[in-house]
Amino acid sequence: MTIRTTRRFDALPVYLLATIPQKKRELIARGVDVIDLGAGDADLPAPPAAVEALAQAAHDPALSRYGFGLGLPAFREAVAQWMETRFGHRFDPLTEVVPLIGSKEGLAHLAFAYAQPGDAVIIPDPGYLAYLGGTLLSEAEPYLYPITPRTNFLVDLDEIPSSVLDRTRLLYLNYPNNPTAAIAPLEYLEKVVHICRQRGIVLVYDNAYSEMTFDGYVAPSIFDVPGARDVAIEFHSLSKTYNMTGWRCAWAAGNPTIVGALAKVKSFLDTGQFMAVQRAGIAALASWQEWVPGNVEIFRQRRDAAVAAFRANGFEIAEAPKASMYLWVPLPAGVPSMAFHERLMQEEGVIVLAGSALGAGGEGFFRISFIASPERIAEAARRAGKVLQSFR
């Protein structure tokens, strides 16, 4: 007897990053010196204030009860205060903010409210696979726009057919970008907001890397664009900025109707986050001005080390990225990204992410994360250079 799965389940691609931990364990068991630059999962500690707040909150039985969608009101208030301090935009903590168990689930779950069979959802390709997952599980049609150097890794809506835009319900954008580290000029975002308002498209702005910027660059909020509140919801996370990936603490803010729709979907899918983690999130946000710059400086040093080392070992890198925790490295023509990824991992013990694992538009590139020391990144680049030479 065959137990069938659904079409929407069968449409989901393999999530490569989910398969890497087991492969990494096997390599280590063989005695391989593994350098993991795959996931955006830093090896650095969380802010001490957040750790201490979590430890104290774990002793409070009131915080071990259901948080439901409301969660800890003080967390909502801290988020609203941070958004106003950082970007100058006010959000009502109860109606224009929704706490998330990591931004990934919110990004995917939002599609359940707005996309259905016959609808289109515009997704950057390559891009964060949560966008694709939510779209496919909603049985909508993903329109994958290839982001390449030709458009500075921007999604050019003028190149998307009107027949697709007419059916589009959601547009996912992510700048600073994962995986390409591209940034978006404000005039570009103004044009996007204008088109979304004209066509009634929900603009899903994934701003998880807004604080991970270098060389004086300051990332904007989508709400810096007049009119964005009519159509946009912006996602933020403590994962990258505060080295809190496993804590799963994030939020979305924006248009109250869109925020409310996501909150309603979540009310059927989860019963809220452990409120002690939200208490720690308050402490993390309170440490933003004092603690975050030093943490970002560590990533800048790693970025500089990565650019220099990969250039020295035969890879062409045009310029150092101004944001994110990634280096998007082009491969020579004829070197498949998945084959390069597999050989580098199996032959040299270095884990990177094949560009094609994040979408067909990523073919010809691979991504490294700044999640190891400059010395280990340099060693990884040396090994990667050996594998590159073997393809030639």
Summarised one tens digit per residue, pLDDT across range 321-358 is: 999 999 999 999 889 999 999 999 888 989 999 999 88
Contacts of 348 (CB under 8 A, 6+ apart): 383, 384, 386, 387
If one counts every other C-beta atom within 10 angstroms of the C-beta of residue 319, the result is 6
Q: Which of 132, 151, 152 is nearest to 143 (CA)?
A: 132
DSSP 99: E
Residue 31 has pLDDT above 90, yes or no: no
What is the model's pLDDT at position 318?
A: 86
What is the model's pLDDT at position 278?
A: 97
Confidence of residue 77 (pLDDT cuts 50, 70, 90): very high
Q: Which of 30-39, 88-97, 329-338 has the highest mean pLDDT?
A: 88-97
Residue 360 has pLDDT above 90, yes or no: no
C-beta of residue 365 within 8 angstroms of C-beta of residue 326: no
What is the model's pLDDT at position 28?
A: 87
C-beta of residue 294 within 8 angstroms of C-beta of residue 365: no
Q: What is the pLDDT of residues 164-199, one digit of tens each?
A: 999 999 999 999 999 999 999 999 999 999 999 999
Average pLDDT over residues 144-163: 95
What is the model's pLDDT at position 29?
A: 87
Helix 337-348 × helix 374-391 angle, to 10°? 120
Average pLDDT over residues 258-267: 97
Contacts of 181 (CB under 8 A, 6+ apart): 321, 322, 323, 324, 326, 327, 328
If one compares 360 and 219, the residue with the highest pLDDT of the two is 219
What is the model's pLDDT at position 314?
A: 92
Can you point out the beta strands (E) in the chain?
35-36, 97-100, 120-125, 141-146, 168-173, 202-206, 232-237, 250-254, 326-330, 350-351, 353-354, 365-369
| Average pLDDT, rounded, for the chain | 94
Instruction: From residue 63, give the alpha-carbon distance in Å to each of 19, 66, 81, 279.
Output: 34, 8, 22, 9
Distance of CA 119 to the CA centre of its chain: 24
What is the model's pLDDT at position 22?
A: 86
* Domains of the chain, CATH where assigned: 7-46+290-391 (3.90.1150.10), 48-289 (3.40.640.10)
- Using DSSP's 3-state secondary structure scheme, residue 217 falls into coil
Residue 18 has pLDDT above 80, yes or no: no
